[in-house]
Structure 1
Amino acid sequence: MSEADTAVLREVGAFLGSLAAGDLAVRSRQGTAHDAAAWAVRKRGLTGCSSARWAGSITKATHDQWALARRGQAAHIGWLRGQVTQIEARLARPLGAKASKREGLVRGYASRGEWHAKSRRLQALKDRLAAVEADWAAGRVRVVRGGRRLAHTRHHLDDAGLSREAWRERWEAARMFLAADGESGKRFGNETIRVTDTGRISLKLPTTLAHLANAPHGRYVLDATVRFKHRGEEWLDRITADRAVAYRLHHDLPRGRWYVTASWQRATAPVLPLRAALARGVVGVDMNDDHLAAWRLDVHGNPVGEPQRFFYDLTGSADHRDAQIRHALSRLLHYTRHGGATAIAIEDLDFTDGKGREKHGRNKRFRRLISRFPTARLKARLVSMAAEQQVAIVAVDPAYTSRWGAQHWQRPLTSTNRKTTRHDAAAVAIGRRALGHPIRRRTTPPPQHRSDAAGHRTAQARPDTRRREETRPHPPGPRTRCVPPGRGAKAGDQCAQHRSGHTAEHASWQQDSLPLSL
């Protein structure tokens, strides 16, 4: 970037940022009384000093920011109500009372001091809840353009290692507005911020800053060019066909660089039927706080190959954590594609209601573990990245996968050359549940001197295999004192009862038909 380009972008971004800040204040004052007519009034007021397209981009960004703040406000209200309900329930219990799942009772607080501290916290939470509910009823949101963290840093410059001038530059860069939505049918998919197929960038200047133009029709063409290494071919196809592409320019002051972000709306990915997605097996994935444990299974539920682990580090900045997650998921998708599978099975985990002390008590280590567990971010990233690789995602019930995996699969899959961990066994359990197979295995056959001399097999079969769920025939006769086949009170009434279609897993006495290959 040349100095002239940098100066023009800063001036345009600061001017449009001031318009966006004023528009956000107007939108916040309107609250829930806002409608299409009020939106049109705001847009006409901004068009006179900028342009119709800049005004449309600003008003749309303002509305999206207000809506995001409202969703966060609703989530905060739900969290406060949950905390108030939990504390009130525990305060109503006697000191030291134990919890009872059968009667639906929570445990009481351990001491009188803790009870008193929680009663004070209850009043503080009620006051916060009343204030947030009043804002919600009035449609009032609290948004800091530029970021609340950066605004808080202004009062702690020594701790952040910044001078007042350096902080001011970051604050102004964060409050700039240089974003424009695309429009299909227009040249290169965007009239406001145009990026040609050769990477040349040009901006339609606001009316107030038209004197800065160096090209016809009030446009400014930058000397620098841009390249898109990620999905560059897809971007090129879109602008060649004049399809809508939205752009955003932002200044990274610590690195001293300008970045251009291109975005567009993709077609909805088709949803494959479950049977088609699992036709070539599945990769079971056990999510942990520092790695992903994966193991590929064939259609019969047998583990194939060696287990894999994809590590990530969730310490540091948000950009670093996001990069770590994307790198781990990229390796997982490559492993899935190279193995021949077309589906990934993950647990449908959600810890939004289970991170507080009221549920897990003083187990600080476990609360920290589930607090840094990136379940929502992992699932969102995995779904979007898997759609690019045409890999289906199957979410399964997480109940007892770790326990039953360790109980039934860790020891059989361990050999002298391979040590199977609890997480690897859980990945097998998750994959089998996605395939519709039971997790728990049958016990080994009885000794030869008992009535079942041939014994039964430790095996599994697909749910559609014929005669897999029927009762085992008993040889009639006086020695065994058994009724003839099909004559008992419970004959033919043995429910499969596995989680893919029933309420529980296989019991230890049910029979499958295909041998297990380990």
Structure 2
Amino acid sequence: MSVPRELSAPFVVLGPSGVAIRTRLKGLTAGDEEVLRLVGAHLGSLASRDLKRRCAEGLEHSTDMWAQRKRALTEESSSRWAGSITKATHDQWALSRRAQLAHIQALEAGVRTIAHRLSLPVGEKGTKRAPGGYRSRQEWFAKTRRLPVLEDRLAAERADRAAGRVRVARGGKRLARNRHHLDQAQLTEAAWRQHWEASRWFLQADGESGKRFGNETIRLTPDGEVSIKLPAPLAYLANARHGRYVLTGTVAFHHRGEEWADRVAANRAVAYRIHLDTDRNRWYLTASWTIPPVKTVPLAQARAGGMIGVDTNADHLAAWRLDAHGNPVGAPRRFFFDLDGPAGYRDAQVRHALARLLHFAKRHGLSIAIEDLDFAAEKTREKHGRHKQFRKLISGMPVSRLRSRLVSMAAELGITIVAVDPAYTSKWGAQHWQKPLTGDKRATTRHDAAAVAIGRRALGHPIRRRTAPPRTHQSDGCGHRTAQAGPGARGREETRPRIPGPRTRSVRAGCGANAGDQDAQHRSGRPAEHGFWQQHSLPLSL
């Protein structure tokens, strides 16, 4: 019998550390768009060159090398543009290093799994902890061919990491590969070229506190006027003083507009990014800034009054409200979303489902308990093998997107998020809660039972229900033992307190003083009925 792994303790999730809002650049003339294209293409070429140089430096990079790169870029742009480019280069290189490490860990897991299964006889069954042998000789032979391939890839990745070498494609590796599969991507060569060039443009500038309106490179005034500091080779395009170009029309932020206006009025740092949506042929402006970390509430305060347990699934969120003792209250709730469609549609579906969940939690004034899911090591073909449908299922679950969205949206409403260990929640929830919560008018699903298990774990209660006493003792013998009282509650195992008034039609009001003592009542099977009987000395006829 396998022993369950040690579970990590629940914790309160930290709030977001930054804010990003977006608006559309409307009313641009053909000249404005041409200037944006020229500036983006010029700065994009500088960013590509700087990224190539940074990748060539590898682990030998130093602050002096950084300063040299920045000085070289300043001659062809400006000091502020050069600072933004070099910072973006370092962020992209660091992200590539983290992705490289994750890829190495996935390859190591695949090599271990194949080597273990090849060492077992064909057809041997596995356990819950370790997989068994392969099903057939044909599959076993195919895996013997695949194992050296993975080992070669692993050796190459380890060598690259030791040398500090990363492989980055500005614009995205997926879009670069689509060039060779235009039919599958449903793109023409001209359309792909437009996507590729727009994705490689560089039109973003970091903010500076104390400078006018918080940014000297891309400036946005409180009235909505947008102006750009042109690079030195494109200074002849300026239509304002000091080598700036002012765009036609004004912009406004409908979301967090007041917060943005306060920062701009106080000259606090705001970063801006301009990009082109090639599918819609629209230009957008994104403003972002950092915020102080939200002070999290103690876990005991988050548990006060109960919690809402949420089980994350591929097409819906299953939620159930629990009281402070871990008892399900009311009916289960399900918040559905559809992930079939373009990225914008899928993102909107997730956002709407989370909005309904948060409004449900806000009405009851409760915190939300959710699993700390991470399928990075759970969706490999070596772990699940033939189970392609299951791999597709967990790969399609928007775990990271849902988690980041939920944290940021909950912070706006002042709702606390508690993360719990996801181990055994579905299994134990179905084992202990699915059948008891199923009635004639309500069919409890496995996901609903998992939501109860998640909520109980976040509240600090065991998932397992307390064993119910025999039917004849559930009420009068020992009280309602299935009620989930806290371990420290006084009288949790005692009989119910006496309520004044008749308990049955044959008992008058004010009687039943010994209702708590079952042995003093003449009931079937009680000691009072089988005790020693002796007639009273007074004759019955008197």
- Give me the TM-score of the superposition, normalised by structure 1: 0.85
1:367 and 2:391 correspond: yes
* Conservation of the 8 A alpha-carbon contact between 2:59 and 2:164: yes
Question: 2: distance between equivalents of 1:140 and 1:55?
Answer: 23
* Conservation of the 8 A alpha-carbon contact between 1:203 and 1:220: yes
Question: 2: distance between equivalents of 1:151 and 1:77?
Answer: 23
User: Corresponding residue for 2:213?
Assistant: 188
* Conservation of the 8 A alpha-carbon contact between 2:473 and 2:479: no
Question: 2: distance between equivalents of 1:357 and 1:49?
Answer: 48
Which segment is superposed worse, 118-127 or 407-416?
407-416
RCO (CA 8 Å, sep 6+): is it higher in 1 or 2? 2
- Tell me which structure has the larger Cα radius of gyration: 2
Alpha-carbon offset, residue 86 of structure 1? 1.1
Runs of 4+ deviating beyond 6 Å: none
* Conservation of the 8 A alpha-carbon contact between 1:184 and 1:244: yes
User: Corresponding residue for 1:80?
Assistant: 107
The one-character-per-residue Cα deviations of 1:460-499 (angstroms, maximum 9, x if unpaired) are 11244246599xxxx99xx99xxxxxxxxxxxxxxxxxxx
From 381, 392, 404, the equivalent of 2:416 is 392
User: Corresponding residue for 2:231?
Assistant: 206
From 372, 376, 393, the equivalent of 1:348 is 372
* Conservation of the 8 A alpha-carbon contact between 1:437 and 1:463: no
The one-character-per-residue Cα deviations of 1:78-130 (angstroms, maximum 9, x if unpaired) are 111111111111111122222256xx764111222111110111111111112
Alpha-carbon offset, residue 398 of structure 1? 2.7
Which residue identity does 1:364 align to in structure 2? K
The one-character-per-residue Cα deviations of 1:404-424 (angstroms, maximum 9, x if unpaired) are 433443344444544333322
Alpha-carbon offset, residue 72 of structure 1? 0.6
Question: 2: distance between equivalents of 1:299 and 1:348?
Answer: 21
Structure 1 residues 454, 6: CA separation in 2 closer, same or farther (over 3 Å shift)? closer
The one-character-per-residue Cα deviations of 1:312-351 (angstroms, maximum 9, x if unpaired) are 122233333222222211221111112221x100122332
Which residue identity does 1:35 align to in structure 2? S
From 300, 309, 314, the equivalent of 1:289 is 314
* Conservation of the 8 A alpha-carbon contact between 1:14 and 1:176: yes
Question: 1: distance between equivalents of 2:477 and 2:185?
Answer: 76
SS of corresponding position for 2:434: coil
- Give me the TM-score of the superposition, normalised by structure 2: 0.81
1:376 and 2:427 correspond: no
From 113, 121, 124, the equivalent of 1:97 is 124
* Conservation of the 8 A alpha-carbon contact between 1:446 and 1:453: no
Which segment is superposed worse, 363-372 or 173-182?
363-372
Structure 1 residues 171, 188: CA separation in 2 closer, same or farther (over 3 Å shift)? same
SS of corresponding position for 1:217: helix
The one-character-per-residue Cα deviations of 1:135-177 (angstroms, maximum 9, x if unpaired) are 2122121111122222222233344443333322222211110
Question: 1: distance between equivalents of 2:273 and 2:471?
Answer: 72
Alpha-carbon offset, residue 429 of structure 1? 2.3
- Residue ranges of structure 1 left out of the alignment (5+ in a row): 481-518
1:175 and 2:200 correspond: yes
User: Corresponding residue for 1:231?
Assistant: 256
Question: 2: distance between equivalents of 1:396 and 1:42?
Answer: 45
Question: 2: distance between equivalents of 1:213 and 1:83?
Answer: 57
Identical counterparts, % of pairs:
65
Structure 1 residues 379, 463: CA separation in 2 closer, same or farther (over 3 Å shift)? farther
User: Corresponding residue for 1:308?
Assistant: 333
- Residue ranges of structure 2 left out of the alignment (5+ in a row): 1-27, 495-517, 520-524, 527-542
The one-character-per-residue Cα deviations of 1:380-405 (angstroms, maximum 9, x if unpaired) are 22222222222111122333333343
1:247 and 2:262 correspond: no
From 107, 115, 128, the equivalent of 2:153 is 128
Structure 1 residues 447, 209: CA separation in 2 closer, same or farther (over 3 Å shift)? closer
* Conservation of the 8 A alpha-carbon contact between 2:110 and 2:383: no
Structure 1 residues 33, 152: CA separation in 2 closer, same or farther (over 3 Å shift)? same
Which segment is superposed worse, 318-327 or 254-263?
318-327
SS of corresponding position for 2:241: coil
1:5 and 2:32 correspond: yes
SS of corresponding position for 1:84: helix
Question: 2: distance between equivalents of 1:428 and 1:119?
Answer: 44
State the number of aligned residues. Answer: 471
Which residue identity does 2:163 align to in structure 1? A
The one-character-per-residue Cα deviations of 1:22-60 (angstroms, maximum 9, x if unpaired) are 101110110110011100000011111111100000000
